[in-house]
A and B are shown apart, each in its own frame.
Chain A
Amino acid sequence: METTVFLLTVNGQIEGANFPDYDNLYCKYCYVYGHDWAPTTGLEEGITQIASKSIQSHRLIWNFPLETTFKSTNPSGWPQLVVSVYGPDVFGNDVVRGYGATHIPFTPGHLFPFLRHTRTIPMFVPEPTWRLQRFTDWLLGWRPEYTDPKVVAQGEGREVTRVRSQGFVTVCFHIMTKDMKKMGYDTGPSTPSTVQSASSGWSTEVESYAK
């Protein structure tokens, strides 16, 4: 029996990052979602190019597109985007520069600036357990890392870690949902009456603005 699902399309991009002290970074992303979720199309994980800062700007720009569609039967376990940033240290070892996570916004929104979801994710890394360790870690390029970056999307067990904040990653999302309202989940702001969603069912305001 075909189960009824609602769909969530995440478009957007990992725009860039602001790591004041580091350069030549790249970013990995993946999604964390609950039991009742499954990606239907698009990349579930990805890795960006290595970006360097320009002389004038202190921002790293990746502009790495995200495009994934999820199907789900339950808003519980709403997908989270987990990003982790890596880059070389002084000795050229590839070390982690930050972990961060954010929930995918659930309000449909799109390219227009007032409805676009931009998230600035503060990034952090686990701290070495003691000070000498920090020194050796720095020297030998062993940085403490999470066993799984997805840890940052969960709350359980985090009390045993200590972290240091490291910078920010900016992600923007354009969200489309389908059948959410039909299933009784009203997430969006009051949708303009001009939107006809009978034909497609996608509750997109895109059409109304595209006119």
Chain B
Amino acid sequence: MASSSEIREKLRKKRRGLQDSLVKNKNDDDAQALVPSAKFKVDKQPTAMKNAEGNDEDPGETLRRTLRAQRQRRKKTLLEQSLVQECHDAEGVSIAQGCSANEGSSHRADDSVISTRPPTGSQRDLSVRSEHSSSSKHLDAFVTKHLQEKLKAARSKGESLQQQEASAASTKPVSRLKRLKNRDTVTRFDSEVDPVSAGRHEDPLSLRSRVKFREAARKVGKDVPTAEETYNFFTYNHEPDQPSQLDRISRKRQRRREKVEEDRDEDGQAEAEVEEDAEAEEDNQNQNECQSEEAPLVRNEDDLFVIDHSPKDFVEVKKAEYVAYRKRIQRDRELLFTPSFQTVPTSIKLPENMKPRFLEDEGFYVGDRPPISLTNENILENRILKMAEGNKWFGDDGKIIALPDPIKESSTRPPLFHVEGELDPALQTVHRKPFKSKYANMYIAGAADPEGDYQLDVDVSGMIFSHHPLFSREHVLASRLAQLYDQYLSRQHNNLTGHLTDKLNGLRNALRNMVKIHGEQGSSEALQQRISEYSLEVRSTRQLRDTEQEKDRTLLKSIIKVWKEVKSLREFQKFTNTPFKLYLRRENIDRVLDEREYEGEILAEVLEMEAESEEEYQKKLAEYKKQLEDWKLWKKKQKAKRKKKKKKKKGQAQDDTEEEEDQDGSESDEPFEEGPVKPKPPDRPDVDSMEQWVREKASRIRRKPGEPILVPELSASGSITSSELCPRAEIARREDVSRRSLFIKIFYNYKEVSRTDSRSLSTDFRAHFGQIFNLKILNCPQSINLQVFEEIGSSCSLLAQVFVPVPDPSIVTGSAPMEEFEFSSNQRVMFDHEGVGSDVPLSFEPDGSNKLTLLTSGKLSCCVSWGIGEEGVPLAPPVSQQPGATHSGRGHLDAVSYIGASGLYDMKKIGEWATQSRLDPNDPKNTSIMQLLKVASSGEVTAPDYFRLEHLQEEFNFVTDEEIERSKRFRLLSLRNQEAPEFRYYKFVPLLEREISDKVFQDYEKRLKDGEIIDTREHLDPHRALVAKYLQKIRESVINRFILAKHYYQLSDLVIEEEIPSIGSEQLQTRPAPVIQNRSASWNVSLPIRMRILGINLFKLAESKRPLKPQRKERKKVTAQNLSDGDIKLLINVIRAHNIPIRKPQSNKPGQSSQSAIQGSDWYLSQVQVRPFVEVSFQRTVLQTTTAEGPNPSWNEELQLPFSAPNGDYSTASLQSVKEEVFINIFDEVLYETGPSDKERTTSIHTQIEKHWLGSVKIPFSTIYSQSKIDGAFKVNTPAVLLGYSREHGSNSVYDHWRSTHGGMFIRLFITIEPQLVPGESVREKIKEVQFESQEAERLLQASERFVKDAAESYPDRPCITTVTDLSGKTVFITRYIRPLNPPQEFLDAFPNNPQEATTLVARFVSLIPSLPDQVSFSGTCDLWSTCDQFLTLLAGDEEEHAVLLCNYFLFLGKKAWLIIGTAIPEGPTAYVLTHEQSGYFIWNPCSGQFYDKDDTFCPLQTVGCLVNSDNVWYNIQENPSPLSTNFDITKANMWKPFFSRSFSHPGLSSVQPEELIYRHTDRAAAAELQDRVEKILKEKIMEWRPRHPTRWNRYCNSTLKQFLPKLELGRGQDVAEGHRLELQNLLGDYRIAGFPLHLPFSEIRPIIEAVHSTGVHHIHSSNVEFALAVYVHPYPNNVLSVWVYLASLVRT
């Protein structure tokens, strides 16, 4: 306490000091200045309030007081807070520079607060305050100051708030109101939080607040706070903030203070009481806010006093105290209470002198008490009674008050109390498999609502029995009568007789008229025909009418007869059971007229019959005559025969036989030769008997003339004898009848859906139901079945069932008529009373004869129709849903069969049919159709000349067809879907129409339009353009074919499956992959072998991981689908080259020669022979190797070229169609020293690098792709002449022997693609599946398939072809292609004496035809073989075509030639030609025209697969397939396996080739023109390629070269260079010349340009370079052109 007061003292001092140093401390001066006035102000305010309070202090106004007290309290607390804050503030501002705001300080603050408590108390209460007035003096000032600060802070806050909300002022009163209203909820503590934390914790904040404070102080100084402001200040609700720990402490402090106050206000004033209540409330509140309020309070209090104590002071150490057991129990008993189990007497539970009152007994509702065990209840009661106010827990009835049991019991499953096995077997659960309803899948399609919008109305109106077991005899008769009468009525209604009579009359009239009109003029054939038809018609009609009339008559008779029987029966039994009465009404008629009619009728009939019989007679007569004629003829023949025989037999001379013959005639003579019997003439018809017959008939079937017409009328008006008057048996029957009742069950789809009420059987055996059942249906109606049940007492039996047809959808309720369905039952029922029973013989005759057996039967009147919905919509399914719905034109079934169902819509056909079948216009059945015809023929209704299948289609066309055609987007989409080449890979078809530019279609439309126009610019040659077009067409058709094939999938296309390797054990280890291809072949392998293989494979599992002799493994192949640009690289390993030409010393040049003279003989040694390097270019990427030296350089370098597929599409098809080629060019790097310029003579030497093209190799990408790797030595395509180079090597060349045999330059390369792509498997496989049509015999095809399969199985790497696809896509056997064909005659004429020359010429001709791989042309590996004439027309083809042509030429030339199917580099599987000469076997490359000796190691052919000639195919089964080691003697069966052998001989296949080839002479003028154009284009191109340098053409040189080129052509590219070079040197002495002629077959201009470009001649950038270019086109027959391009660069030295 002392310390705290000291602090306070210090504080005050400090403050005063501060006040003194007002001038110095700028921060505080305003505030200090304010102090006195503010002090006064604030002081005054509470005082005034207190005064008011004091005045108001009027006991009784508790409410007001409470309110006020609360307000007061708030004020007070605020003040207190500010006070506390002031302390801390002071601390913070003045003292606590070094003292941080921590716990310690807060403790101290606490102390100080406690010290100030008395003053605060005084402030609250006036009386108290007066006591402490002395101390409150300074306190006042203190408080005032703080209040001012507070006000300022609040104001500044308010200002800032004002800034945020513009309408702060207006809202203020509202907020105040609110505050008044929820006073209790306002937390007092929150208000001070902000300043407290600001002041204590956050220095920057405090600074700011200080600034604010200053400003506010200034303001306050100016204007004194009004009452309003002060009020606001006190009630201002500050922004809530996180209550800090310190807050809590301050709160605690407050509470403590309040407690102190309470203590102080002991005098028990009302106010204090109120205060206390409020306090309690507050406490609650506090507890809510800070749960651990109470505990810390106590502890803190302890802390307050304990602060000086050490823990030692509290801990007492002493021995454990033993408490005796009894004592402890005693003590426990004092403390513990164990409620007893005893029932508590009611008297204790109830207030004294009260009797338990049971509400329930008094009639009140008391709910069920929750079930509690009695013990528990007792315990509870005992426990409750122990409590202070325990009694209140007991109700009036002395029981614990309890709410009714809230849990409602409801069992979800009745408990089964049974032991296992004791269950009644009838209750055992039977498990059945669920089964699907039979009609589950027969829902009516199109029912949008599963509830079903279809409704069937079954109207069961009633039933009548035509026979019932309970019928009496009279009933039987009566029912018969009724039936007959019904029949009569219906007949009367139909009036068939009348109709037929009318028709007959009409026909007769017509006939009569016809005869009358045309009778005189000789009747024509047609008329005759017509008349006879009519009479036939008349006859049949008459017959019909007669039968009808007869029926009418008999019906009438039988009605009368039955009625008579009924009458007699009634008389006999003396009672009446049925109400029926028959009246016969007579209709008198004019007797005379009637008779006349009758007679006329008979007459007409007789006449007709006469005519008919006459006709019949005539017919028969004619027949007779004919037969007679025949007979006579036959007779004559017989006679003639007999005569012959007689002559024969005369020789034998046997008289008796002769006589016999004469007498007996032919029959006896030759019994087997039975002739026709002699016909008898027909009888004439008897007219009299005819009339007789007619009259008889008429009297039988017709009313006699003059007889009145009898019209029966049946009425049910008679009375029934009442039961009393009846005999006993009858009474029993009637009782039986009344006992019975009927009801009907309705079955829908064999399921009972409903049943009628049961109706008792009435005496007339009718039952009326009159019930309509509405069936909502889901399933298609299959059957509707009504079952009639009869009920006798409780038992009921099925009488009969009636099947009702499912109504037509057009039949809806309301319009449907009642229909009667007959039913019957064959149940046998017998009675001992009058009832006749059922299935019991019954006789009406007195003698018991003529028994009849009656079965229960009757009619059910009901009606089934489709319901009508609310809007009158029929609730019927659409017509198509109706199974077995009959055609609406039931009456015209004949018509349907006549014109077909669709024809019903065709008016013309109907009309035709109507006329042909002569529809009776009077027939009421035909009225509708006649009317229709009339309308149609009148032209009012034009019958449509089309039949629309989809009536509603139009409604679904949301736009018109034109509109959709016009839509660009739709067009784009459909074109893409059609895989039009321009759009096949089109991505992102724009979403909006306007975003599709018309340009998109330009190419496509152009292509479509240009289909006919030939682009000569591209092709230079109209013929070739045509060919290109033709090729394009073929390509399209083939592509279309393959698009089909592409969509045909095999398992291997989709699933990778490691096959079980088949036998071919030698391959097993080395090449498992290829074996996979012959899965089907392996099917034939028997199982044991398979097991062995399996064993091998298992063995393989155990083989060592790193074998000593590792085997080459297949690289993993990558499917091309998920690749992207940059993934694929082309690896080209340039290993070495041989025989590179070396530079030649330019000895002819004077300057040079002197130089070389200086160098002397060691020129060869010192001078670089050649410095070759290889440049590889592919897809605009150019890479080169380092420069090596010498003619046989070794680079051994790997070049990696990136590959990107067209359109970024890496699908197999796309990759196959890549046309680009890999150019491998060999250059010589030449360094020239350009002499130092004259102007500055320095020591520096400039060298210039030039590269001179030496040769090139072209490899198409498609080859690499299909081969996956290419390895070998390639012959480099070298120009015939290389200026400045010589192939003559120095004598010291190591490779002398090579040079001697081969003039060529070779380069060894290894090319592959990384990663390895799966080459597109040939479409051939698929073609087989698709089964392209073939004209070959099935047997041949099968044999060839087998042959190929076997071949592939044994030697998978050797190609074997037996069948090929021709241009039309048909499969053709390969030998059909081979046939001797004539080469152009001029070749033969050129060298008549030298067949060798002719051979080479022919080979050259063939090689000049441009080569075009099929893969490229038909984007898919599909080999199409064209015949030689097609080939020569197309002027483009694969190796096969070349080979076939060459082979055929050779055969013509009389050579032994075969086609070799094998593999070569770089082509891969290809075709070569083999010839057999005296000197041995030669292999010809048809594309280059070169030939190789069989033993030539540089032969590009690597494997020999099979040999083909026109007779047979031989498959190579030798160990080593390379031509070097192959024996070409095909007769050796152990080396060559023939296709046609003894077992399968050659069927004599005709050739597909033409007999003779016809050649056209090529127009020389055209060739010359082409030559000029090529030259012009090339010159332009070269200039184009040198954009920065001038390109000068040396004309002189040009012409020289041009003259030279034809010589080259003549020499066929043979080395004629030396002379030429010398010539050139002479001509152009001053120039250093580098140049070469290029030779190409001509197809189009692009390859020529490419070839020129790849030589890189244009790269020479020397300033004084000149160029020379010459083009020569040599025409061969059939437009085969040989193009020579001579390129040279000249540098003036």
Contact = CB atoms under 8 A, between A and B. Distances in A.
A136 B988 contact: no
Contacts of B1054: 126, 146-147, 151, 157-158, 160-161
A36 B1060 contact: no
A144 interface: yes
Interface stretch (A1-9, A58-66, A109-117, A195-203): A1-9
Interface stretch (B415-423, B1043-1051, B1545-1553): B1043-1051
Contacts of B987: 35-36, 38
Interface string B1055-1084: 111111000000000000000000000000
Nearest to B1090: A132
Contacts of A142: 1057-1058
B1055 A146 contact: yes
Contacts of A161: 1051, 1054-1055
A3 B1098 CA distance: 60
Given A145-B1055, A156-B1047, A157-B1053, A150 B991 contact: no
Interface in B986-1001: 986-992, 995, 997
Given A133-B1057, A140-B1097, A35 B991 contact: no
Contacts of A47: none
Contact of B1056 (A3, A76, A133, A146): A146
Contacts of B991: 3-6, 73-74, 183
B1119 interface: yes
Contacts of A54: none
A136 B1094 contact: yes
B1097 A160 contact: no
Contacts of A160: 1049-1051, 1053-1054
A126 B988 contact: no
A6 B1122 CA distance: 25
A181 B1672 CA distance: 67
Contacts of A159: 1049
B1121 interface: yes
Given A4-B995, A160-B1049, A73 B989 contact: yes
A137 interface: yes
B1076 to A, nearest CB: 11
B1101 interface: yes
Contacts of A151: 1054
A180 to B, nearest CB: 10
Contacts of B1056: 144-147
Interface residues of B, number: 32
A145 B1058 CA distance: 9
A152 to B, nearest CB: 10
B1049 A3 contact: no
Contacts of B1098: 139
A129 interface: yes
Contact of A144 (B976, B1057, B1060, B1122): B1057
Contact of A128 (B988, B1057, B1101, B1121): B1057
Given A4-B992, A139-B1098, A160-B1051, A148 B1122 contact: yes
A140 B1060 CA distance: 11
A28 B1207 CA distance: 27
Contacts of A4: 990-992, 995
B1060 A133 contact: yes
Given A146-B1056, A157-B1054, A1 B995 contact: yes
Interface string A1-29: 10111100000000000000000000000
A44 B995 CA distance: 28
A133 B1058 CA distance: 9
B1321 to A, nearest CB: 12
A115 to B, nearest CB: 25
Contacts of A6: 991
Instruction: Say which size band chain A's interface belongs to.
Output: 35 or more
Contact of B1121 (A74, A137, A150, A157): A150
A73 B997 CA distance: 15
Contacts of A128: 1057
Interface in B915-960: none
A66 B1274 CA distance: 52
A76 B987 CA distance: 12
Contacts of B1119: 147-148
Given A1-B995, A4-B995, A35-B976, A147 B1053 contact: yes
A177 B1097 CA distance: 54
B1404 to A, nearest CB: 46
A137 B1058 contact: yes
Looking at B976, B987, B990, B1054, the one whose CB has the most chain A CB atoms below 10 A away is: B1054
Given A4-B995, A183-B991, A147 B1049 contact: no
Interface in B958-982: 973, 976
A6 B991 CA distance: 9
Interface string A105-138: 0000000000000000000001011001100110
A209 B1693 CA distance: 88
A66 B463 CA distance: 74
B988 A38 contact: yes
A6 to B, nearest CB: 7
Interface in A58-82: 72-74, 76
A76 B1047 CA distance: 20
Contact of B1055 (A1, A5, A126): A126
Contacts of A137: 1057-1058
A191 to B, nearest CB: 21
Contacts of B1097: 136, 140
Interface in B1113-1131: 1119, 1121-1122
Contacts of A36: 987-989
A148 B1318 CA distance: 13
Contacts of B990: 3-4, 73
B988 A129 contact: no
A186 B542 CA distance: 75
Given A139-B1098, A147-B1119, A3 B988 contact: yes
A137 to B, nearest CB: 7
Looking at B989, B997, B1047, B1097, the one whose CB has the most chain A CB atoms below 10 A away is: B989
A146 B985 CA distance: 24
Contacts of A148: 1119, 1121-1122
Contacts of A1: 995, 997
Contact of A74 (B989, B1055, B1060, B1090): B989
A150 to B, nearest CB: 7
B305 to A, nearest CB: 55
Contact of A147 (B976, B986, B1055, B1058): B1055
A129 B1080 CA distance: 12
A85 to B, nearest CB: 17
Contacts of B1094: 132, 136
Contacts of B997: 1
B654 to A, nearest CB: 89
Contact of B988 (A73, A132, A147, A156): A73
Nearest to A34: B987
A129 B1076 CA distance: 13
A3 B1000 CA distance: 14
Nearest to B985: A35
A76 B976 CA distance: 13
A1 B1059 CA distance: 52
A148 B1094 CA distance: 28
A62 to B, nearest CB: 22
A129 B989 contact: no
Closest 5 pairs (CB-CB, A-B): A157-B1049, A142-B1058, A144-B1057, A73-B991, A126-B1055
6 contacts: A35-B988, A36-B987, A147-B1054, A160-B1049, A161-B1051, A183-B992
Interface of B: 973, 976, 985-992, 995, 997, 1047, 1049-1051, 1053-1060, 1090, 1094, 1097-1098, 1101, 1119, 1121-1122
Given A74-B973, A128-B1057, A136-B1094, 4 more contacts: A126-B1057, A136-B1060, A147-B1053, A161-B1051
